[in-house]
Amino acid sequence: MKNIFILGSRGYQAKYGGWETFVTNLVNHYHDKNTTIYVGELTDKKEEDKTLRKINDHLFIYSFYVNTSGSAKMFFYTIKSYLSTLNYIKKNQLFDSYVYILGLKLGPLLAFHQHLRKKYRIKIYVNPDGLEHLRSKWNKIVQWCFLLSEWSMVRNADLVVCDGLGIERYIQKKYKKAKTTYIAYGTNLYDFSKIDEEKILKEYHLKKDDYLLMVGRCVPENNYELVIKDFMKSKIKKKLVIITNLSSSHYYSELVEKTSLEKDKRIIFIDGVYDQVKLATIRKNAYLYIHGHSVGGTNPSLIEALSLTDLNLLYDVCFNHDIGLDTALYFKEEGSLKKLLDNTKLLDQKREELGPKAKKRIQENFTWDKIVEEYKDIMK
């Protein structure tokens, strides 16, 4: 029996973001009777600390409680889950296990326990996600800590799994001896004949092709300020619908102050849509999707948009280009998005031309079934 431990996300079927979506889809599509998967979960209940919850014969949730708050919570949670996992492997005499760590929160700790890793033939895989030290939400000290953590974890991992080709190129260039592989995120393919699209759109007061869409965390590196300013200057009559973590965002008030977005009645914010069928329906019926993410690998939201929305406008960085290639349009400097939005004739033309092309690319390269097979290949 093969054992895989996935650590670093908030958990299985958690309503948060990219990591949680990734973990949920990965384990739901990982069908192998000879494999048991343990998913680390951050719990708010002290009595659940270090408990195992059985989902089925091949999936267990390993819960951890951390008595702290703020950004430090995920760091302490990842450290605690990693040390507890090593102890669990030792206690249960599990050999040839894979420990897959999402993010760069362990730092120098990964350099220790080499004897234990060797004795039980533990393989440590690390997914660095994006370039955390470039995220503006972190101060200079935290950014430096992420660089140190990256240096230590990449050097001490058996394999660095990069979810973007740009991330892999960065790791290979900076750490010559690092062993890397590229595995993107996947997406689900939906049968809309079984979905009441009109009912879902009505729930959010939306109409087909009457809105532009953005989906993602409300943080500076997702370029909300640039997009909103260009949209407000444009002549397009459609709405701009932004689905984000509005209630938990510290950046929203700053965004309002910088853009005066409340003056434009075309701009609508929706505080999170975690039902995947509803979110897919909203994506499918959007006139176009705007992807402003500038830091990271393969963003799940981008994969989903390319598979569902007829036209996608992407912020012009290598991470987005590697996925979109010639199936999308690109913008970057201020004014470039406005120029695209004002050219409705071009947008209508590109919707017909690029929509089928993007969907075909995703169906051939980014389905969860294909992504899971790639993970099985590195965890034989």
CATH of the domain at 329: 3.40.50.2000
- Given this model, what pLDDT does residue 16 score? 60
Whether residues 208 and 142 share a domain: the answer is no
Whether residues 246 and 361 share a domain: the answer is yes
Q: Show Cβ contacts of residue 286 under 8 Å, excluding neighbours closer than 6 positions.
A: 209, 211, 212, 213, 241, 309
Quote the number of domains for the chain: 2
Give the 3-state DSSP-derived string for the chain, with helices as H, strands as E and coil as C.
Answer: CEEEEEECCCCCCCCCCHHHHHHHHHHHHCCCCCEEEEEEEEECCHHHCCEEEEEECCEEEEEEECCCCCCHHHHHHHHHHHHHHHHHHHHCCCCCCEEEEECCCCHHHHHCCHHHHHHCCCEEEEECCCCHHHCCCCCHHHHHHHHHHHHHHHHHCCEEEECCHHHHHHHHHHCCCCCEEECCCCECCCCHHHCCHHHHHHHCCCCCCCEEEEECCCCHHHCHHHHHHHHHHCCCCCEEEEEECHHHCCCHHHHHHHHCHHHCCCEEEEECCCCHHHHHHHHHCCCEEEECCCCCCCCHHHHHHHHHCCCEEEECCHHHHHHHHHHCEEECCCCHHHHHHHCHHHHHHHHHHHHHHHHHHHHHHCEHHHHHHHHHHHCC
Whether residues 157 and 175 share a domain: the answer is yes
CA-CA distance, 149 to 105, in Å (whole number)? 7
Do residues 292 and 226 make contact, with C-beta atoms less than 8 angstroms apart?
A: yes
Q: Which residues of the chain have pLDDT under 70?
A: 14-17, 130-139
Q: Rounded to whole angstroms, what are the CA distances from 12 to 3, 6, 54, 98, 226?
A: 17, 10, 12, 18, 34
Whether residues 33 and 12 share a domain: the answer is yes
Picking from 148, 182, 216, the residue at the C-terminal end of a domain is 182
Whether residues 204 and 99 share a domain: the answer is no
Picking from 154, 182, 210, the residue at the C-terminal end of a domain is 182
CA 246 to chain centroid: 17
Picking from 132, 154, 182, the residue at the C-terminal end of a domain is 182
CA-CA distance, 97 to 117, in Å (whole number)? 9
Domain region containing 239: 192-365
- Given this model, what pLDDT does residue 130 score? 63
Whether residues 70 and 158 share a domain: the answer is yes
| Residue 112, in any domain of the structure | yes
Closest CA to 122 of 167, 92, 80, 165: 92
CA-CA distance, 360 to 163, in Å (whole number)? 20
- Given this model, what pLDDT does residue 246 score? 86
Whether residues 242 and 169 share a domain: the answer is no
| Residue 371, in any domain of the structure | no
| Residue 376, in any domain of the structure | no
Whether residues 221 and 356 share a domain: the answer is yes
Whether residues 260 and 176 share a domain: the answer is no
| Residue 219, in any domain of the structure | yes
| Residue 228, in any domain of the structure | yes
Whether residues 31 and 11 share a domain: the answer is yes
Whether residues 336 and 227 share a domain: the answer is yes
Give 106-158 pLDDT, tens digit per residue: 888 999 999 999 999 999 999 987 666 556 666 677 777 778 888 899 999 99
